[in-house]
């Protein structure tokens, strides 16, 4: 799926993309509610404005991926590699980021409420100072 381009509003609800190779794929505005991206290789993928509520991204390689304004409420991002990715204005309410590599990730204006991040690497992240 490298270079794959979903159309805005595409419905991939509860779809399985487990172990998928989707480098630089584009999922902007897609509905991925409850989808499974476990162990996927999605470096540089773009999930801008996508709905990823309750999506499983466990152990996925998402280095440099973009989640600008994405809705990740209740998503499972355990042991994800999001090295230097972007979560600007993302909704991370009730999400689990435990054990993930978030080195250098941009979190400006992200929503954190009941977000779990035990053991998460947050070095060099960019966050609001307020």
| Mean pLDDT score of the chain | 94
Average pLDDT (74-95) is 98
Could you give the number of structural domains in the chain? 1
Q: Is residue 129 part of a domain?
A: no
Summarize pLDDT for 47-59 with one digit per residue, the tens: 999 999 999 999 9
Please tell me whether the overall predicted TM-score, pTM, comes out greater than 0.75 for this model: yes
Spell out the residues 6+ positions from residue 129 whose beta carbon is closer than 8 angstroms to its own.
Answer: none
**Selection from 110, 116, 114, 112 nearest residue 128 by Cα:** 110
Q: Which domain holds residue 90?
A: 1-113
Summarize pLDDT for 66-77 with one digit per residue, the tens: 999 999 999 999
The position carrying tokens 């960019």 is 126
What CATH number has the domain bearing residue 104? 2.160.20
pLDDT at 1 over 80: no
Q: Is residue 130 part of a domain?
A: no
Q: Is residue 77 part of a domain?
A: yes
pLDDT at 24 over 80: yes
- What is the percent of the chain with per-residue pLDDT over 70, rounded to a whole number? 96
């Amino acid at each position: 799926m490298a270079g794959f381009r979903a159309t805005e509003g595409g419905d991939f609800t509860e779809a399985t993309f487990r172990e998928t190779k989707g480098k630089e794929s584009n999922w902007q505005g897609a509905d991925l509610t409850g989808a499974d991206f476990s162990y996927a290789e999605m470096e540089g993928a773009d999930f801008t404005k996508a709905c990823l509520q309750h999506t499983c991204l466990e152990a996925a390689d998402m280095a440099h991926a973009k989640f600008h304004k994405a809705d990740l409420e209740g998503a499972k991002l355990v042991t994800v590699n999001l090295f230097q990715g972007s979560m600007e204005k993302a909704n991370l309410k009730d999400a689990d980021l435990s054990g993930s590599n978030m080195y250098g990730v941009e979190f400006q204006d992200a929503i954190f409420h009941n977000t779990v991040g035990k053991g998460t690497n947050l070095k060099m992240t960019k966050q609001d100072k307020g």
